[in-house]
Amino acid sequence: MSVFNGMRISASGLSAERMRMDTISSNVANAKTTRTQDGGAYVRKVATFGENYDEKLGMLGVKTISIEKDKSPMRKLYEPDHPDADKQGYVEYPNVDMLVEMSDLIAASRSYESNVDTLNAQKSMISKALEIGR
């Protein structure tokens, strides 16, 4: 096991949480988007993670497996004057719940901070180990 494996694992955690925060920010930015290029309302996206494993090196942390569309139902509001209203006067809005997005964002930022603290602790330990040799 390399001295730097812990740093690689923390770095992969930072990258994964950044991806998660990017996905959340995209959801928040499109919370009211009723028309996309694909047609229809914006669909909430969720980042899915998995372990990043190498046979030779062992565990290398986490990686983003995919960014999937959330399968929760879309919101429909009665707004007959809206340009995207259907024949019954209902507009389909994204399945983005701001409370869920904000709580996910807080969890992601706390995880990011935790990985930063771990990375800094590892750097400090390596630095102290190098000072022993002087």
For the cut 80, the answer to whether the pLDDT of residue 9 exceeds it is yes
Mean pLDDT, all residues of the chain: 89
Domain residue limits, the chain: 5-132
Contact at 8 Å (CB) between 64 and 48?
yes
Rounded Cα–Cα distance for residues 61 and 127 (Å): 23
Q: What is residue 57's predicted lDDT score, i.e. its pLDDT?
A: 67
Highest mean pLDDT among 1-15, 39-53, 56-70: 39-53
If you average pLDDT over residues 46-72, what whole number do you get?
Answer: 85
For the cut 80, the answer to whether the pLDDT of residue 55 exceeds it is no
Residue 6 CB partners (closer than 8 Å, separation 6+): 118, 122
Residue 54: C-alpha distances to residues 39, 58, 98 (Å): 41, 5, 38
